[in-house]
Amino acid sequence: MKPGPRNLLTDVTGLLVGNAEDQDLKSGVTVVTSDVPFVASVHVMGGAPGTRETDLLAPDKTVAGIDALVLSGGSAFGLAACDGVVDGLRRAKRGFPVGPVTVPIVPGAILFDMVNGGNKGWADNPYPKLGRAALDAAGVDFNLGSTGAGTGALDSCFKGGLGSASVMLDSGRTVAALMAVNPVGSVTTPGGNHFWAAPHEMGDEFGGVGPDPRSNLVTPDPSQKMAMIAAVGQDRANTTIGVIATDAALTKAQCHRLAVAAHDGIARAIQPAHSPFDGDLLFAVSTGAGPVVDDMALFELGHTASVCVARAIARGVFEAMPWPGDLLPTWNDRKRKVQR
């Protein structure tokens, strides 16, 4: 396995990603779209998800292709980001044809970033505007870390963020992940120096510090444990949400299976994962045309997707940037202080 040329979701040809954020709000929106509709499905493993139009992504539902996916902060308020995206796509005459009109199909998912130190005293919901801005910003290059849906994200010990990673397979297919990382659990091992995802790192994409050499890392250290308890005690319901994509031709049922397999990457990169307090969710997308892949190819794609998810999660925390009013440090800030 080797990363794609950008090491981003947009290494999957045809996909575009846009971010918009408000640093005073400490929240934002990320949009995944394409010039043409794409096949997608979804799988949820967290106990507290927040979603819009995900029922349409079941294999037995009518809609064969969607126009965009939205990842947003803002809890239930953030679902309104889809409204801004729908409006923008409608102006572009994009959507599912129904008689004389077209209806843009835009599923979305949200994470909880409502108690992260940002100003949440708005009079009018800011998320439709952020959704439209993210759609307008969509392109092949985009930033990671404290941007888009990862703007106000936190894990139990550090700032979270938006991460992405890709892989080019020997078959010529590409698999990539985009993750907004905001879990109750920890992305780092006890002590905070090493990432759980380190065995899957390619190059030094999240610092190159390698795996934690210690054994028996199952139990969090006291500071991690107290941070997790505090997060839950503050009703800081969290969530890690993301998108897996491939240029292999998949059916909706195969996309669902890809999303199921990719959740292994969340468990590899975050401990604990899929808790009652997280809304962990993965969309899976196929942009490929031609004959659909067979089960052996899907087997390889699923494993590769899980590796990309783990790497993208670590990159989201690694790329986080400090901002006034932050409740938690960035991983890089803490590392610099330890090295002094």
Torsion from C-alpha of 320, 325, 328, 332, nearest 10 degrees: 40
From first to last of the 340 residues of the chain, give the pLDDT tens digit: 899 999 999 999 999 999 999 999 999 999 999 999 999 999 999 999 999 999 999 999 988 899 999 999 999 999 999 999 999 999 999 998 888 889 999 999 999 999 999 999 999 999 999 999 999 999 999 999 999 999 999 998 899 999 999 999 999 999 999 999 999 899 999 989 999 999 999 999 999 999 999 988 876 776 776 666 666 655 555 899 999 999 999 999 999 999 999 999 999 999 999 988 898 999 999 999 888 999 999 999 999 999 999 999 999 999 999 999 999 999 998 765 555 4
- pLDDT at residue 63, as a whole number: 87
- What is the spatial distance between Cα 133 and Cα 137, in angstroms, rounded to a whole number? 6
Look at residue 151 and give its three-state secondary structure.
coil
For 168, 305, 334, the CA distances from 292, given in Å and listed in that order, are 18, 17, 46
Cα 55 to Cα 316: distance, rounded to the nearest angstrom: 28
pLDDT at 338: 53
